[in-house]
Structure 1
């Protein structure tokens, strides 16, 4: 196994040369074999161990075992302890999910503070099979069937081609000591139930089942890569990025025979789960939206707009004082006195300084806001009606700021100036306000 492992590392992960590597070690069979193998190769390694305090004295026994092993072999070791059950309760997570969150958060923190490059874990082929079955039972797309990735950011899993049987045989041949996790014998967890009850039956049906499964997963990964390539090409045809937002042309999208698959590929990474609701948006009423934890997908006429969720604080106000020449938040505005007016546009207005009262105020529009559109000579209009006429989406409305003088609208910023502050023939002092 050593030669096979060495060749695998060199061929699949040549970039690890001269890098500093953390090894995630529980004290069990797989991770202790990982340490034994890496110790024989020319890499700078250190061990990470998490004590989740889930098995009483046994958990501390694992920690002491690893500490003693590393001391004897002169391997740097970092250990930590978590109150996993309290964390799971506080954040309403399962114990396993809580442990994973705590573990990887600590891993990435140490990568930065200790200036290491990668973390290697001991996930192997049997783990991959169990993950496949778990995802299959819960319902998943193709991506969920491609298994555990061999690299995920700075996490490397070099044992994925190796079976639990190979790892055990190597450990026995090299007299490697390890700790048995008593919880692995229990069928309390779904993974253990699959490991103990289902996988043995599959291997009994086909003694080469694990090898056949690895071939199948290789084919699935190739199919997934082909789908990703196709989704990129279609994305370039139907999507247009505008700042933080992405606009998807529904007329172009609906010409595709299987557009739902592309929607899944594009939006899955943004945390969306309500797929039927997303598919219904395509033919849904304008203004409907679907939310994930951090993003919103909005139907706006013939467009789907993907945008990050932003906390809207409608009561928040920002003052602009008389001596201010530049504003950097929440918008970038420049104010200056000029002798005459140049071209007026949506991003530049000129106002009579004697008509405005400082401090000016920037805030979000409110329902019922009324202004006098520039050029309409005294006629009033609701801001909401202006938005409708301009065909602004809900997202665009929420991003719009209003400039006020003594509670009167001076400018619907970037859209329309108010006529009451316009330059007259008798104007003595002109202020130019420009949106950068």
Structure 2
């Protein structure tokens, strides 16, 4: 296996050569083989061991075993004890997910602190098969069926091409010592049920099942890559990114016979899970929305608009004092005296200073708000009607700010000033500019 491993690294992981490597070593069969292979390949390795304190004294014995091995072979050694149960309780995670989060968070810290180029784990082909079957049982899409990736950023899994039988045979041939995790024999966890009950049954039907599975997974990975390329091309045709939003053109989207698959591909990374609701949104009424923990998807006429959720504690009203000539939050305004009216635009207005009552208020619009759009002498218009006529999206309405003097609207900022504050005399003039 050692020569096969060296060829495997040279062919698929040449970028590891000469790098500073941090190996995740539990003390079990797989990680001890990973350590031995890289050690015999004269790689620059260090050991990281996580003590999750889940198996009492057994966990401590594992840690001592690894530390003793590291000391005997003069390999740099890092160890950390975690209160996994408390972390799982605090963040409402399963014990397994809590351990995973703690493990990779600590590995990342070690890599940053000590300059490790890559973090290596001992996942192998059987782990990949088990993950495939778990995701298959949960109704996963192709992303869940392609298995464990060989590399994500600086985390690398160089043993994915080797089976558990190969790894065990290597360990016995080379008389390696390892620790057996007693929890691996339990069928309490789904992965162990699949490992001890399902996989043996499949291999009884076909002894070459694992080899055939690896070929199938390779085909799935190629299909996934092709689907991603197609999704990028379609995204460029259907989506438009503006500010902190993404607008999906429904007319173009719905021409696609498999538009729901594209939506899944684009949106799942934003935490959405209610796919039936998202599919219904494409034909729903304007204003309907679907939420994820941090984002929302809104139907707005001919578009689906993706945006981040507003902070529920966001203040929607701000005071501008008389001597204040600069506003930096929530939007940027400059206020100064002017000798006359020059260039007027959506972003710059001139108002009669004597018609303004300080303090001014910068606030969000409310139902029933009305103003007199400049140029419409004596004619009042509801702000909501103005938004509709100007074809504001739902999110644009929410982002709009009103500059008010008392209960009168001076300016729908960046859009339309009010006729009542128009400069018509020789009174002092204020110039107000939206600077962002």
Q: Which residue of 2 aligns with 1:115?
A: 115
Contact 2:364 2:400 in 1 (8 A): yes
1:366 aligns with 2:362: no
Q: Provide the secondary structure at the position in 2 that maps to 1:279.
A: helix
TM-score by length of structure 1 reads 0.95
Q: Return the alpha-carbon distance in structure 2 between the equivalents of residues 17 and 410 of structure 1.
A: 67
Q: CA deviation at 1:357?
A: 3.4
Q: Which residue of 2 aligns with 1:349?
A: 349
With over 3 angstroms needed to count, the CA separation of the structure-2 counterparts of 1:162 and 1:143, relative to structure 1, is same
Structure 2: which 5+ runs fail to align?
none
Contact 2:126 2:163 in 1 (8 A): yes
TM-score by length of structure 2 reads 0.95
Q: CA deviation at 1:408?
A: 3.2
Contact 2:414 2:434 in 1 (8 A): no
Q: CA deviation at 1:312?
A: 4.4
Q: Return the alpha-carbon distance in structure 2 between the equivalents of residues 18 and 403 of structure 1.
A: 62
Q: Provide the secondary structure at the position in 2 that maps to 1:290.
A: strand
Report Cα offsets for 1:43-97 as digits up to 9, x if no partner: 3222111111111111111111111111111111221111111222222221111
Q: CA RMSD in A?
A: 1.8
Q: Any residues of structure 2 matched to 1:85-234 within 5 Å, and which?
A: 85-234=85-234
Q: Return the alpha-carbon distance in structure 2 between the equivalents of residues 21 and 337 of structure 1.
A: 64
With over 3 angstroms needed to count, the CA separation of the structure-2 counterparts of 1:322 and 1:17, relative to structure 1, is farther
Q: Return the alpha-carbon distance in structure 2 between the equivalents of residues 383 and 78 of structure 1.
A: 63
Q: Which residue of 1 aligns with 2:295?
A: 295
Q: Any residues of structure 2 matched to 1:29-108 within 5 Å, and which?
A: 29-108=29-108
Q: Which residue of 2 aligns with 1:272?
A: 272
Could you tell which deviates more after superposition, 146-155 or 78-87?
78-87
Q: Provide the secondary structure at the position in 1 that maps to 2:179.
A: coil
- Between the two proteins, the alignment pairs up a number of residues equal to 436
Q: Which residue of 2 aligns with 1:422?
A: 422
Contact 1:314 1:363 in 2 (8 A): no
Q: Return the alpha-carbon distance in structure 2 between the equivalents of residues 22 and 355 of structure 1.
A: 70
Structure 1: which 5+ runs fail to align?
none
Q: Return the alpha-carbon distance in structure 2 between the equivalents of residues 31 and 286 of structure 1.
A: 55
Contact 2:348 2:431 in 1 (8 A): no
Q: Return the alpha-carbon distance in structure 2 between the equivalents of residues 330 and 149 of structure 1.
A: 43
Q: Return the alpha-carbon distance in structure 2 between the equivalents of residues 219 and 314 of structure 1.
A: 49
Contact 1:351 1:422 in 2 (8 A): yes
